[in-house]
Structure 1
Amino acid sequence: MRGAGERSYSPSSAADGSRSTDWRTLARLLPYLWQYRWRVGAALLFVIGAKMANVAVPVLLKHLVDAMTVKPGDPAALLVVPVGLLVAYGALRVMTTVFTELRELVFSKATQGASRQIALQTFEHLHALSLRFHLERQTGGMTRDIERGVRGIESLVTFSLYSIVPTLIEVAMVLGILAVKFDASFAWIAGSALVAYIAFTVVVTEWRTRFRRAANEADSSAHTKAVDSLLNYETVKYFGNEAFESRRYDESLQRYREARLKAQTSLSLLNTGQQLIIAAGLVGMLWRATQGVVAGQLTLGDLVMVNAFMIQLYAPLNFLGFIYREIKQNLTDVEKMFVLIDRQQEVQDAPDAQPLRTNGPVDVRFDDVHFGYDAARPILHGLSFDIPEGKTVAVVGPSGAGKSTLARLMFRFYDVGWPGHPEVPTGRILIAGQDVRSVTQASVRRAIGIVPQDTVLFNDTVAYNIRYGRPEASDAEVEQVARAAHIHDFIMSTPNGYATMVGERGLKLSGGEKQRIAIARTLLKDPPVLIFDEATSALDSANERAIQAELRLAARGKTTLVIAHRLSTVVDAHEILVMEAGRIVERGTHLALLAAHGRYAQMWALQQNADRQDAQP
């Protein structure tokens, strides 16, 4: 059975276990950039042009200094030196800026395009994962990882092309000039300093990556707790647990603070070591150059050029340490997002899956269905029943009997079967005579509409939430189904009408108003199969009776499954199934089940007595 591929998502779990190497992460990014290969090539040419202009500046300064042997008072000193310096220096500076801006202009589309594609792929993949994953995820930490991953892609590409590559090109040019223009000792000193700098940076950065990762995990944990607490604002208030939530949040912030302090301490160590290596290289180069000037082997212009080269390399090298640290962190962030993308889909379409055909009679059949959410929790045991075309079948029973599981299996949020028990038959679910596992999930879900027990609405307008049943529907169609669901008058009584915002999860509306919007949304979808999953369980008796009439109207001519706890809501069903512990223990019409004096009759008597007691003053 499938299911082992999706486990609970938490910020730490994404970073643990078998993780890709940095090179594999980079390799996975290359296909996204390959489609912009011409832009990458053009950007690299502009990088080379900018660095050639930049390296030419110290060479120009050398010739200008050497040319300043003009005697004082000679008109050439006033004419040649200042004009040549200003024009040549200004031209090289302009060339450097122009090439840099052209590189930005050419490559920005590639950077933004790659990050957009990966972000969209992650979003689509998360929607493709099963209900199991989304029930177990930590939303705050997951969204934080996605946010950092998208930002990390842009930074990774930008730093690589705009900083690492240009710096390496400039270093190669400078070392080449030093080796050709002077003796090899200059190149050896500069090269040794660079190698020592890079080696020190890599070793220390690898060591301190654990502190950055711990800081990120603590940050995600704090964000998760904050988001979870705010989403459950009412529950926090009901129990007066604001101080408790603050303590939990502060504990995560304290772990984040400690991790950040360790990261900062190790950063200070890294920066200090880098400065010592650069200073040693700079002193060695200047000592060798001054020896050459004293011995008459080098000119003052040569000394100025060597010093300018080292200063010119000093800034990007100092920045290179920061860049390497950021690239390492960006690789970690991008890798976490790739871990999300790599999560196996528990429920997948068959390779030859075709759309569900619903142009003929649409009936639903459960044929010897066995199911369990995990190996230790069997839910359904050989369930079999039929919902004929246009008929209504109701399922009743105590909580935990497996009633709502039927809806989840019909929508194919899970596949039938019991994970870890291959000896148990799986059975099958047929819609219009077709096994739901042999057709596409999208077509199955298009064919089914549901009014759930707990209607959750988007934090948008009333019109948006109704139109969600069919996003291309017109305003007139939205109003038509709102009238059919008896919610139009209420909507028009609000100041903004259909533009009224419903709040987070629809919390600005009452239970009855949310249910009517859910009915309108389902009416707009107009599917051949309907599921009412305890749609009135949270309502008072008056609202329940009103909405029951609307539900019967909505189910007219549809193949309908009604999942109910209150038996009074299903007396008109063509067949009633009584479930206990994942099995059907009784079935029949309301009158036939009462006459049988079995489990259904007992439940009916208990509910009638409870209703009479509630009605007493």
Structure 2
Amino acid sequence: MLRVFKYVFKYPAMIGIATLAMFTVIGIDQIVPLIQKSFIDDAILGGKSNLVVSLVIWLLVLALFKAILGYTKEFLYDLMSTKVHLNLKNQLFNHIQSFEFAYFDHMNTGELMARIGEDLENIWQTLGFGLRLLIENIFYIVLSTIILFSLNAKLAFICLILLIPIGFITLKLEKLFGACYGELSDQTAVINTTAQENIAGVRLIKAFAREKYEVKKFLKLNKRYYELNMRQASYMSKYFPIIDFLTNTALVAMIIFGGYMVLKEEMTLGTLTAFNTYIWYIVWPLRQLGWLTDMLSRTSASAKKIFAILDRPAEITSPDDAYCPDTLNGHISFKDVSFHYNEGEEVLSHINLDIPAGSTVAIMGTTGSGKSSLLNLIGRYYEPSSGEILIDGIPLSKWHLHTLRQNMSIVMQDTFLFSDTIADNVRFGKPNASMEEVATACDLACATPFIAELEEGYRTQIGERGVGLSGGQKQRLAIARAILRKAPILILDDATSALDTETEYELLTHLKEKNYQTTTFMIAHRISAVKNADIILYLENGKIVEQGNHETLLKKRGRYYAIYQKQFESFEEQLKEATYVC
């Protein structure tokens, strides 16, 4: 929690003025009861009627100043907390953006949303009024205690000794709330993740008639959240009544003993009136202490989780003297590259490749053979566990990440489209692209025919992740997005799997005939999609077991040949039948 103050102290003038206003308001509140005492003892009971007007004027002036300074204090503290909240949220979001793919492989979206949302809101609320109120209350208690003893030490001792146990109760509550809110924060993240997954996958849930199961799962998680909140409520119900009882007892003691002292003329009525006001300046802060402890515990738990993310460094970063060329040719080399996600589970083993600039590389292989992992290494989304990758003769680790990725276009295996218009989705990689450029990219991606059938064309708003479009339509828009960028390196990770053979052939022909040079990598499972590639790789268990072009691989009669035979067997049989009939 203390680290949050680093952000607070970025606004010294704002904090200084707000704090000065706060202390002035506290000072005014400490003076008013003394004026009230003089009003009763001197002006009313003492018969000094000439003091009435002046004392009333003083009360009105102090009330006006208190109102103005109170507004200033509230406004500036709120403004400061909003700025801190904004800065922290921006920093947290930017830091999360810097993380490598591996971080998101093990992190739930719901947990990150809880950090960016609820946890930052807790800090905002505490800085806005919780922390200020705590500081105010401390000063009210200290100053009022001093004045109480100066008014009547005996009565002050009787009243305050009843309030001492509240301090020990507060320390106990802080420990209990701290542990409780750590668990509550974790459970909130789990609930957010479950809700996010269920809402995103609602079509799958309905398709498999799993609504009841998912509702039960969510209710089970929500029950745990309820239990944690009930535990927190039980602490409040156990200790808050004790605090109220002790504060009320102090007030009763003041009335009984104070009234007795007035009757015995050991204390004036005006002094007792002032004493009553000062005791309330202590009672109210003590009653709020439990609530403030609750708020600070919640914020402390949130701050720990936020700074745990901010303290985690990005594992893949650009070096200080990063390589930033004006142009990238696309000559790519793999030198004895191996890679694993988890220690001891090698995904790629001793990969050696030399891809000339402008080549088309097709990658085939069984599921889990490392095809996507190989392509993810080119953009340095992951680091190889050993070996080296070079682009244009420069090791990948020496490239500036932004420069490297700015010169790449990629169509992921899992096609992602934003909840936006078709045109803006295609423009994602090149925001300043004209409509003519967008249309040309869609032509090359064979997306124009289905876009033309839509009522609003390129202005059509598509749902989250492309809801409302078929798998093939989403893939074509994703390919158009990649084409529009005209990057020297193009990666198509199983990007044509949802296309029919005819559309796939037309699209790949367009890519081959484009008017700029691109080193293209393409994962595919159909021979028709890869046969025209300059280099074809066949991966198995993380190793390149076959490499060559279509003709050379057929001559080897290996795995590629077996796939060719299987895919074209029925076609050849039909051809023989047709020949026989003729």
Question: Per the shorter chain, which TM-score range?
Answer: over 0.9
Residues 479-517 of structure 1, C-alpha deviation per residue, up to 9 Å, x if partnerless?
A: 342334343453343233322111111121122221221
Q: 1:408 to 1:68 in 2, by over 3 A?
A: same
Name the residue aligned to 2:266.
297
Name the residue aligned to 1:330.
299
Residue 103 in 1 paired to residue 63 in 2?
no
Q: 1:452 to 1:549 in 2, by over 3 A?
A: farther
Name the residue aligned to 1:266.
235
Residues 67-96 of structure 1, C-alpha deviation per residue, up to 9 Å, x if partnerless?
A: 35469xx9x86x864x56654443333222
Alignment of 1:508-527 (within 5 A): 508-527=468-487
Q: 1:186 to 1:551 in 2, by over 3 A?
A: farther
Residue 394 in 1 paired to residue 362 in 2?
yes
Q: What's the CA shift for 1:382?
A: 0.7
Inter-partner Cα distance in structure 2 for 1:487 and 1:39: 55
SS of equivalent residue, structure 1 residue 293: helix
Q: Relative to structure 2, which stretch is displaced further, 469-478 or 385-394? A: 469-478
Alignment of 1:577-616 (within 5 A): 577-609=537-569
Q: 1:614 to 1:543 in 2, by over 3 A?
A: farther
Alignment of 1:118-157 (within 5 A): 118-157=88-127
Q: What's the CA shift for 1:195?
A: 4.0
Inter-partner Cα distance in structure 2 for 1:563 and 1:256: 45
Q: What's the CA shift for 1:161?
A: 4.5
Alignment of 1:102-251 (within 5 A): 102-183=72-153, 185-189=154-158, 191-251=160-220
Alignment of 1:477-496 (within 5 A): 477-496=437-456
Name the residue aligned to 2:373.
405
Q: What's the CA shift for 1:224?
A: 1.9
Count the aligned residue pairs: 576
Q: 1:614 to 1:432 in 2, by over 3 A?
A: farther
SS of equivalent residue, structure 1 residue 279: helix
Inter-partner Cα distance in structure 1 for 2:359 and 2:259: 99
SS of equivalent residue, structure 1 residue 52: helix
CA contact (8 A) 1:396 1:579 kept: yes
CA contact (8 A) 2:359 2:520 kept: yes
Q: What's the CA shift for 1:194?
A: 4.9
| Root-mean-square deviation over aligned CA pairs | 2.5
Residue 54 in 1 paired to residue 54 in 2?
no
Alignment of 1:549-588 (within 5 A): 549-554=509-514, 557-588=517-548
Inter-partner Cα distance in structure 2 for 1:236 and 1:36: 50
- Normalising by structure 2, we get a TM-score of 0.92
Residue 134 of structure 1 aligns with an amino acid whose one-letter code is F
CA contact (8 A) 2:80 2:128 kept: no
Inter-partner Cα distance in structure 1 for 2:565 and 2:401: 41
SS of equivalent residue, structure 1 residue 427: strand
Residue 370 in 1 paired to residue 338 in 2?
yes
Inter-partner Cα distance in structure 2 for 1:44 and 1:374: 52
Q: What's the CA shift for 1:172?
A: 2.3
Q: What's the CA shift for 1:282?
A: 2.5
CA contact (8 A) 1:56 1:92 kept: no
SS of equivalent residue, structure 2 residue 274: helix
Residues 354-378 of structure 1, C-alpha deviation per residue, up to 9 Å, x if partnerless?
A: 32x2626430111111111111311
CA contact (8 A) 2:77 2:127 kept: no
SS of equivalent residue, structure 2 residue 517: coil
Identical aligned residues as a percent: 29
CA contact (8 A) 1:149 1:335 kept: no
Inter-partner Cα distance in structure 2 for 1:243 and 1:95: 61
Inter-partner Cα distance in structure 2 for 1:353 and 1:61: 72
SS of equivalent residue, structure 2 residue 224: helix
Name the residue aligned to 2:459.
499
Residue 241 of structure 1 aligns with an amino acid whose one-letter code is R
Inter-partner Cα distance in structure 1 for 2:216 and 2:413: 34
CA contact (8 A) 2:151 2:271 kept: no
Residues 517-542 of structure 1, C-alpha deviation per residue, up to 9 Å, x if partnerless?
A: 11221122111111121211122223
Match of 1:447 among 397, 400, 407: 407
Name the residue aligned to 2:6.
31
Q: What's the CA shift for 1:343?
A: 2.5
Inter-partner Cα distance in structure 2 for 1:191 and 1:614: 101
SS of equivalent residue, structure 1 residue 579: strand
SS of equivalent residue, structure 2 residue 225: helix
Q: What's the CA shift for 1:131?
A: 1.2
SS of equivalent residue, structure 2 residue 275: helix
Residue 312 of structure 2 aligns with an amino acid whose one-letter code is R
Q: 1:338 to 1:189 in 2, by over 3 A?
A: farther
CA contact (8 A) 2:410 2:491 kept: yes
Q: What's the CA shift for 1:287?
A: 4.2
SS of equivalent residue, structure 2 residue 429: coil
Inter-partner Cα distance in structure 1 for 2:249 and 2:255: 10
Q: What's the CA shift for 1:415?
A: 0.3
Q: Relative to structure 2, which stretch is displaced further, 394-403 or 84-93? A: 84-93
Gaps of at least 5 residues in structure 2 are: 578-582
Q: Relative to structure 2, which stretch is displaced further, 243-252 or 396-405? A: 396-405
Name the residue aligned to 2:352.
384
Q: Relative to structure 2, which stretch is displaced further, 208-217 or 590-599? A: 208-217
Residues 294-351 of structure 1, C-alpha deviation per residue, up to 9 Å, x if partnerless?
A: 3323211011111122123322331232112111111111221111222232323334
Residue 403 of structure 1 aligns with an amino acid whose one-letter code is K
Name the residue aligned to 1:255.
224
Q: 1:476 to 1:105 in 2, by over 3 A?
A: farther
Inter-partner Cα distance in structure 2 for 1:546 and 1:120: 44
Residue 124 of structure 1 aligns with an amino acid whose one-letter code is N
SS of equivalent residue, structure 1 residue 253: helix
Q: 1:482 to 1:603 in 2, by over 3 A?
A: closer
Name the residue aligned to 1:341.
310
Inter-partner Cα distance in structure 2 for 1:447 and 1:134: 23
Inter-partner Cα distance in structure 2 for 1:286 and 1:379: 80
Residue 42 in 1 paired to residue 17 in 2?
yes
Name the residue aligned to 2:388.
428
Residues 244-292 of structure 1, C-alpha deviation per residue, up to 9 Å, x if partnerless?
A: 1011011111112222222212111121111122123333444443343
CA contact (8 A) 1:455 1:515 kept: yes
Residue 429 of structure 2 aligns with an amino acid whose one-letter code is G
Q: 1:588 to 1:261 in 2, by over 3 A?
A: same
Q: 1:187 to 1:264 in 2, by over 3 A?
A: same
CA contact (8 A) 2:505 2:528 kept: no
Inter-partner Cα distance in structure 2 for 1:119 and 1:497: 36
SS of equivalent residue, structure 2 residue 353: strand
Residue 134 of structure 2 aligns with an amino acid whose one-letter code is I
CA contact (8 A) 1:398 1:565 kept: no
CA contact (8 A) 2:28 2:62 kept: yes
Name the residue aligned to 2:580.
none
Q: Relative to structure 2, which stretch is displaced further, 442-451 or 157-166? A: 157-166
Residue 418 of structure 2 aligns with an amino acid whose one-letter code is F
Inter-partner Cα distance in structure 2 for 1:193 and 1:378: 68
Residue 309 in 1 paired to residue 278 in 2?
yes
CA contact (8 A) 1:63 1:301 kept: yes
Residue 60 of structure 1 aligns with an amino acid whose one-letter code is I
SS of equivalent residue, structure 1 residue 396: strand
Gaps of at least 5 residues in structure 1 are: 1-24, 418-425
